């Protein structure tokens, strides 16, 4: 069965969010044992920066991580932030309008981040821009 275009686009956006959020961890893991080093990660980043289809490079990155010994591959980095779906984000009270969330600066992936203390706003691994502030 073929994957519907919307499903493929959503999967790619979710995968790119994981790459963006965990780029340095992924890079270190690949350099620590993959025979190709971090080349699969760099192909994803290059494709995203140039506007190419990232589906193939994301799949290759996932397989590279699996062949390195991580059975979850790319999904192993995700702690639930992009795969948990509900009408309302976990931890957000419906009675508190306008909570601040930081999103992908270009809206290309589904990455999000909540400010905790004085932590600096993360940067997008694709563009280098800070995540975009938005209100729920």
Q: Is residue 13 part of a domain?
A: yes
Least confident of 1-5, 80-84, 106-110: 80-84
Residue 11 covered by a domain: yes
Give me the helix-helix angle, 23-31 and 5-21, nearest 10°. 80
Predicted model pTM: 0.62
Number of structural domains the chain divides into? 1
Secondary structure (DSSP) of 68-104: TT-TTGGGGG--STTT---SS-TT--TTSTT-EEEE-
Of the candidates 47, 49, 29, 25, the residue with the CA atom closest to the CA atom of residue 37: 29
15-50 pLDDT tens trace: 999 999 999 999 988 887 667 789 999 999 999 999
Does 32 map to a domain?
A: yes
Residue (of 34, 54, 37, 36) closest to 45 by Cα position: 54
Range of the domain at 46: 5-77
């Amino acid at each position: 069965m073929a994957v519907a275009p919307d499903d493929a686009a959503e999967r790619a956006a979710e995968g790119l969010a994981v790459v963006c959020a965990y780029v340095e961890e992924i890079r270190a893991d690949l350099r620590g044992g993959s025979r190709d080093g971090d080349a699969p990660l760099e192909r994803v980043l290059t494709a995203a920066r140039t506007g190419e289809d990232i589906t193939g490079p994301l799949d290759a990155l996932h397989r590279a991580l699996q062949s390195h010994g991580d059975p979850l591959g790319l999904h192993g980095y995700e702690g639930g932030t992009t795969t948990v779906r509900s009408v309302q984000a976990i931890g957000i009270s419906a009675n508190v309008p306008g909570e601040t969330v930081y999103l992908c600066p270009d809206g290309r992936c589904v990455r999000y981040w909540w400010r905790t203390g004085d932590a600096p706003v993360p940067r997008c691994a694709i563009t280098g821009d800070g995540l975009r502030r938005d209100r729920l």
